[in-house]
Amino acid sequence: MTERMIVVGADAAGMATAAQARRRRDRNDLEIVAFERGHFTSYSACGIPYWISGLVPEREQLVARDPETHRKQYDIDVRLRHEVTAIDLDRREVVARDLDGGGEVRERFDTLMYAAGAVPIKPDWARTDAAGVFGVQTLDDGSALRRWLEAEPRPRRAVVVGGGYIGVEMAEALVLRGLSVTLLERGEQPVSTVDPDMAVLVTEAMRGLGVDIRTGVEVTGLAVRDGRVYGVQTDAGHLPTDLVVLGLGVRPNTALAEAAGLPLGPTGGIRVDRRMRVTGTPGVWAAGDCVETLHRVSGLPVHIPLGTHANKQGRVAGINIGGGYATFAGVIGTAVTKVCDLEVGRTGLRERDATAAGFEFVSVIAESTNRAGYYPGSRPMTVKLIAERPSGRLLGAQIVGWSEAAKRIDTLAVALWNRMTVDDMTALDLGYAPPYAPVWDPVLVAARKATDALAR
Amino acid sequence: MTERMIVVGADAAGMATAAQARRRRDRNDLEIVAFERGHFTSYSACGIPYWISGLVPEREQLVARDPETHRKQYDIDVRLRHEVTAIDLDRREVVARDLDGGGEVRERFDTLMYAAGAVPIKPDWARTDAAGVFGVQTLDDGSALRRWLEAEPRPRRAVVVGGGYIGVEMAEALVLRGLSVTLLERGEQPVSTVDPDMAVLVTEAMRGLGVDIRTGVEVTGLAVRDGRVYGVQTDAGHLPTDLVVLGLGVRPNTALAEAAGLPLGPTGGIRVDRRMRVTGTPGVWAAGDCVETLHRVSGLPVHIPLGTHANKQGRVAGINIGGGYATFAGVIGTAVTKVCDLEVGRTGLRERDATAAGFEFVSVIAESTNRAGYYPGSRPMTVKLIAERPSGRLLGAQIVGWSEAAKRIDTLAVALWNRMTVDDMTALDLGYAPPYAPVWDPVLVAARKATDALAR
């Protein structure tokens, strides 16, 4: 008898699952129905800031695979604008509302993939339907913001609330569109995904671009007139603005899952096992921004919403649902971002994470260059390493530089993944040629410095 | 009593040794004398092509540390233009000839560091003192070539013999200077450090730049008139030219070492142990382009002359001579090069090496892009992986691409260094953001493809 899989959420995790399952089982063996409340499938949310800035001209460029491709090429019954409103585990049914046509459908499943993603974190003041307040999580969010930016009279001032990756990328995007931009960050520095001594480099670069960065500022409310925002109220005074972008991060979208009784972990994400099965819930799987996962260094569960994890997890789930065997190995917190011309990379634990996890460690910051010093385009690169004391095991790394910096974090990520010590790392055979590295690559310079620090 | 170290060759390996030893032992404890037959210390031979092209304007930019710095900062008695002509292990003496002043000096040593580097491979036809024939191994070679290029009448045509890295880089440099360049390669493709199916991409790029590449061509002689070269004779006919660059590779410079009775290995390089001590020869050390080293994948000795190894080996030797403990862990054959705008990286074994070492393997070539497909500047990237069958262990990797390609080899090099399987590699947490990678990094795309190939 044909088995039936329902996918809740037709973005990265859900559709990677569906595609992998389909590779292994044809439609006579496995029917796949995917519900998506939005207008799009499989798109790059990470690309939204570049579409807003105009660097990527067309919204459709961000769509990796449209519904027709999923339907025709993978034989997946994709139903856009259908919001799943309930999951009944006993009856093995989901209920979905047709957001455009109206009405409700009930669909039976044997296998359920819960891939509902994440929802923006909204403090009370942000729960508004005032015009001019935007999230940037979905393509629909992005479309609304683009319309606002192109409407007359053109907005001139923007306030971005939150200095995480998306906030910083949006601040830059809006500057590139010619707006005067203020970035509000509650903490000490924006880009708190790196330690403050590295984040300060990013803050300087953003100020150099003209972004008005205000740190240690708490938003208390929005000023709204005639249903339209005109200012942001903070504990440091009022800021007039023509639009507000919310970049306060996201949390796992688990409302439906909780209602159905799926287990959540301490991070608020759905608990899954290594094969992406929801813990203790036969036939139910979850993947992507709605689940929590293991951090391989701290050993703790973490919630790191990122397309690359969603895709990997979906692939793992799909292989398993398809009858194969695969496990998700966990994450180490690798991330890269571009801020103005500055490149930022990180992997593993920050100092605060290492302390929280109970590690003793040394940390070093090494200055070097991306290329041989005499080669044109040579620019400074700063590498920070955090290593366990006394073992020397690499716990975390951060890089800030002007070019060829961000992806050098991968070299450190693979070293960290393999539990290398900084001393062992000094021996690594990395590529050397004047256009690409000094004779001691910045990664090796930092490993040497950390080794020296451990010996003291 | 003060111990005395003599260093033969004051370039990367020798001076890294001296500097590390000095860090741990002051001059009352260890006297250091370094003999160098050339005019320079510690320079980047790898940078010569970029100085020839004009990309690096001044010769002095290639000198990382001049003799004065070594003397003043490290208290090393550097003697330029002194060629060591004999080593007497029984009497613990070296004999050196003063190339400028004339005469000979004899100097006693307790410790000897042999770091005489490599010498160009010269077939009979290349053993000439005809004007217009150039090596590019030393700064003195480079100076001679620069003078030739700037003399009137300006040379218009050049023939580069040999399609290794240096040959290819020199061909590009001469094209950039406006010369009409022919590259002669005896084998099937230039850049034979990657497999032919990858090298073909490089050949195409060079032809696009206007280099006349002729493969399968053997040079038989030079045409010389009035002591000046005017053509190259080959088994495919005569090629008129105004200058000839020899890029036929190098071999360990061991004449002195052999005469002194130091042991050579099967590659022709000096045999050393893990601490860089010359095997069976107390008090004598060697490092850099004159030694052979262990290839960690094949388990065989190899001779890979490269500044990054020379520096690491010198550091290891210097730590040991200084009274510390360090070992050189071997190499995996990582190398990167820039050919026109094309970037080339490699690590581990090529197919022919894997076969020679007795491995069974699969190899895959995966096409991807350096950035998210929609991000401006996204360019194709080709990744080749060679994985042991059935274990899946990565044995080698090659990358060719147009930007952000070469140094991605480091990610693969660290994976290979840690004996990862391609299946494990599909789980790696690598940096993802649209300006830097597609959601599946090219490295991961290739690892998935290799995993699939192994399953078949």
Q: Which tokens sit at A417?
A: 């993944």
Residues of A with a known catalytic role: 46
Whole-angstrom CA distances from B161 to B28, B212, B230, B418 are 50, 12, 14, 37
Same fold across B3-118+251-321 and B122-248? yes
Of A46, A407, A435, the CB nearest to B404: A407
pLDDT by residue (tens digit) across B185-219? 999 999 999 999 999 999 999 999 999 999 999 99
pLDDT by residue (tens digit) across B427-442? 999 999 999 999 999 9
Of A203, A134, A155, A141, the C-alpha closest to A342 is A203
- Radius of gyration, alpha carbons of chain A: 23
- CATH code given to domain B122-248: 3.50.50.60
Q: Is A437 close to B56, i.e. CB distance below 8 A?
A: no
Q: Is B335 close to A413, i.e. CB distance below 8 A?
A: no
Percentage of chain B with pLDDT > 90?
97
pLDDT of residue A411: 98
Length of chain A measured in residues? 456
CA nearest to B345 within chain A = A431
| pLDDT value at B1 more than 90 | no
Task: Spell out which residues of chain B touch residue A334, defining contact as CB-CB under 8 Å.
Answer: 429-432
- Report the topology of domain A3-38+58-117+251-321: FAD/NAD(P)-binding domain (3.50.50)
Of A12, A404, A410, the CB nearest to B430: A410
Helix (H) / strand (E) element for B455: namely helix B442-455
| Interface mutation target, options A407, A408, A424, chain B, most CBs of B under 10 Å | A407
Tell me the C-alpha distance between A114 and B281, whole Å: 68
The per-residue b/e assignment along B382-396, b for 16 or more CB within 10 angstroms, e otherwise, is: bbbbbbbeebbbbbb
Task: Spell out which residues of chain B touch residue A64, defining contact as CB-CB under 8 Å.
Answer: 439
A456 — pLDDT class (breaks 50, 70, 90): confident
Backbone angles phi, psi at A314, to 5 degrees: -60, -40
pLDDT by residue (tens digit) across B246-297? 999 999 999 999 999 999 999 999 999 999 999 999 999 999 999 999 999 9
CA nearest to B431 within chain A = A335
Q: Is A443 close to B328, i.e. CB distance below 8 A?
A: no
Shortest Cα–Cα distance, B346 to chain A (Å): 8
pLDDT of residue B340: 81
pLDDT of residue B456: 87
- What does DSSP say about strands A250-252 and A118-120: parallel, antiparallel, or unpaired? antiparallel
Of A334, A376, A437, the CB nearest to B431: A334
Q: How far is CA A42 from the centre of its chain?
A: 15
Tell me the C-alpha distance between A1 and A4, whole Å: 9
Task: Spell out which residues of chain A touch residue B439, defining contact as CB-CB under 8 Å.
Answer: 12, 44, 46, 64, 307-308, 311
User: For domain B3-118+251-321, is the CATH number 3.40.50.970?
Assistant: no
pLDDT by residue (tens digit) across A107-122? 999 999 999 999 999 9
SS3 label, residue A108: strand
Shortest Cα–Cα distance, B380 to chain A (Å): 17
| pLDDT value at B28 more than 90 | yes
Shortest Cα–Cα distance, B81 to chain A (Å): 25
Percentage of chain B with pLDDT > 70?
100
- What does DSSP say about strands B133-134 and B243-246: parallel, antiparallel, or unpaired? parallel
Percentage of chain A with pLDDT > 70?
100
| Interface mutation target, options A414, A420, A456, chain B, most CBs of B under 10 Å | A414
Q: Is A428 close to B414, i.e. CB distance below 8 A?
A: yes
pLDDT, mean of residues B339-357: 95
| pLDDT value at A1 more than 90 | no
Of A55, A332, A407, the CB nearest to B436: A407
B344 — pLDDT class (breaks 50, 70, 90): very high
CA nearest to B62 within chain A = A374
pLDDT, mean of residues B233-258: 97
Tell me the C-alpha distance between B326 and B323, whole Å: 10
- Listed by start position, the domains of chain A span 3-38+58-117+251-321, 122-248, 335-455
| pLDDT value at B338 more than 90 | yes
Q: Is B55 close to A375, i.e. CB distance below 8 A?
A: yes
**Torsion from C-alpha of B268, B272, B277, B280, nearest 10 degrees:** -90
CA nearest to B427 within chain A = A329
User: In whole numbers, what is the pLDDT of chain A averaged over residues?
Assistant: 96
| Interface mutation target, options B194, B276, B378, B439, chain A, most CBs of A under 10 Å | B439
Tell me the C-alpha distance between B112 and B84, whole Å: 12
pLDDT by residue (tens digit) across A258-312? 999 999 999 999 999 999 999 999 999 999 999 999 999 999 999 999 999 999 9
- CATH code given to domain A335-455: 3.50.50.60
Q: What angle do CA A289, B435, A43 make, to 5 degrees?
A: 40
pLDDT by residue (tens digit) across A16-65? 999 999 999 999 999 999 999 999 998 898 999 999 999 999 999 999 99
Task: Spell out which residues of chain A touch residue B376, defining contact as CB-CB under 8 Å.
Answer: 55-56
pLDDT by residue (tens digit) across A154-175? 999 999 999 999 999 999 999 9
pLDDT of residue A182: 98
| pLDDT value at A253 more than 90 | yes
User: In whole numbers, what is the pLDDT of chain B averaged over residues?
Assistant: 96
B121 — pLDDT class (breaks 50, 70, 90): very high
Helix axes A307-321, A12-24, angle to 10 degrees: 30
Q: Is A431 close to B62, i.e. CB distance below 8 A?
A: no
Categorise residue B448: left if φ over 0, alpha if ψ from -120 to 50, beta otherwise.
alpha
Task: Spell out which residues of chain A touch residue B311, defining contact as CB-CB under 8 Å.
Answer: 439-440
**Which residue spans within A145-209 are E strands per DSSP?**
157-161, 180-185
Q: Is B430 close to A436, i.e. CB distance below 8 A?
A: no
pLDDT of residue B287: 98
pLDDT by residue (tens digit) across B60-79? 999 999 999 999 999 999 99
A340 — pLDDT class (breaks 50, 70, 90): confident
Task: Spell out which residues of chain A touch residue B305, defining contact as CB-CB under 8 Å.
Answer: none
pLDDT by residue (tens digit) across A73-103? 999 999 999 999 999 999 999 999 999 999 9
Tell me the C-alpha distance between A455 and B375, whole Å: 45
Shortest Cα–Cα distance, A67 to chain B (Å): 18
Shortest Cα–Cα distance, A370 to chain B (Å): 11
Task: Spell out which residues of chain A touch residue B329, defining contact as CB-CB under 8 Å.
Answer: 424, 427
Of A213, A219, A212, the C-alpha closest to A234 is A219
For B347-428, where are the alpha helices, taking DSSP H only? Answer: 351-356, 409-417, 422-425
Q: Is B409 close to A427, i.e. CB distance below 8 A?
A: no
The active-site residue, picked from B29, B46, B81, B212, is B46
Of A261, A318, A259, A260, the C-alpha closest to A288 is A318
Shortest Cα–Cα distance, A329 to chain B (Å): 6
Whole-angstrom CA distances from A387 to A232, A451, B20 are 42, 9, 23
Size of interface A-B (CB pairs under 8 A): 205
Strand order in the sheet with B212-215: B133-134, B243-246, B157-161, B180-185, B212-215
CB atoms within 10 A of CB A368: 20
Strand order in the sheet with A93-98: A82-88, A93-98, A104-108
Of B332, B338, B414, the CB nearest to A415: B414
Backbone angles phi, psi at B256, to 5 degrees: -60, -45
pLDDT by residue (tens digit) across A352-411? 999 999 999 999 999 999 999 999 999 999 999 999 999 999 999 999 999 999 999 999
Q: Which tokens sit at B158?
A: 């050049």
Q: Let me know: does A168 contact A339? Beta carbons within 8 Å.
A: yes
SS3 label, residue A216: coil
Categorise residue B192: left if φ over 0, alpha if ψ from -120 to 50, beta otherwise.
alpha
Of B56, B334, B427, the CB nearest to A329: B427
Task: Spell out which residues of chain A touch residue B373, defining contact as CB-CB under 8 Å.
Answer: 61
Shortest Cα–Cα distance, A206 to chain B (Å): 17
pLDDT by residue (tens digit) across B144-155? 999 999 999 999
